[in-house]
Structure 1
Amino acid sequence: MKKMLLPALAAALVLTACGTKSADQAENTAETAETRQVMPSDIAYVQVEAVLAQCDLYQTEGVALQEKTQKAQKSWAQREKSLQAEAAQLQEKYEKGLITSRDAQAQQESIQKRVASYQANAQKEAQTLDEENFVFSNRAQDLLQRAVKEINADGKYKLIINASALIDADTTLNITPAVLAKVNELYAADQKSAKK
Structure 2
Amino acid sequence: MKKTLFMALAAAVALTACESKPAEQPVEVIAEEKAQEAITNDIAYIQVEAVLAQSDLYKNEGAALQEKTQKAQKSWAQKEKNLQAEAAALQEKYQKGLITTIDAQNQQQSIEKRIAAYQSSAQKEAQALDEENFVFTNRAQDLLHRAVQAINGQTEKRYRLIINASALIDADSTLDITPLVLEKVNELYAADKKAEKK
TM range (shorter): 0.7 to 0.9
Count of residues paired in the alignment:
157
Deviation beyond 3 Å, 4+ runs, structure 1: none
Per-residue CA shift, 1:22-57, capped at 9, x if unaligned?
xxxxxxxxxxxxxxxxxx711100000000000000
What is the rounded CA distance, in whole Å, between the counterparts of 1:195 and 1:92 in structure 2? 59
Seq. identity, %: 76
Per-residue CA shift, 1:96-129, capped at 9, x if unaligned?
0000000000000000000000000000000000
CA shift at 1:156, angstroms? 1.0
Q: Structure 1 unaligned runs (5+)?
A: 1-39
What's the counterpart of residue 32 of structure 2? none
Bigger radius of gyration, 1 or 2? 1
Q: Does 1:124 align with 2:149?
A: no
What is the rounded CA distance, in whole Å, between the counterparts of 1:68 and 1:155 in structure 2? 41
CA shift at 1:94, angstroms? 0.1
What is the rounded CA distance, in whole Å, between the counterparts of 1:70 and 1:163 in structure 2? 28
Q: Match for 1:174: what amino acid?
A: D
What is the rounded CA distance, in whole Å, between the counterparts of 2:88 and 2:165 in structure 1? 52
CA shift at 1:158, angstroms? 0.5
SS in 1 for 2:41: helix
RMSD: 0.7
SS in 1 for 2:98: coil
What's the counterpart of residue 183 of structure 1? 185
CA shift at 1:70, angstroms? 0.4
Q: Structure 2 unaligned runs (5+)?
A: 1-39
Q: Does 1:168 align with 2:167?
A: no
What's the counterpart of residue 49 of structure 1? 49
Q: Match for 2:137: what amino acid?
A: S
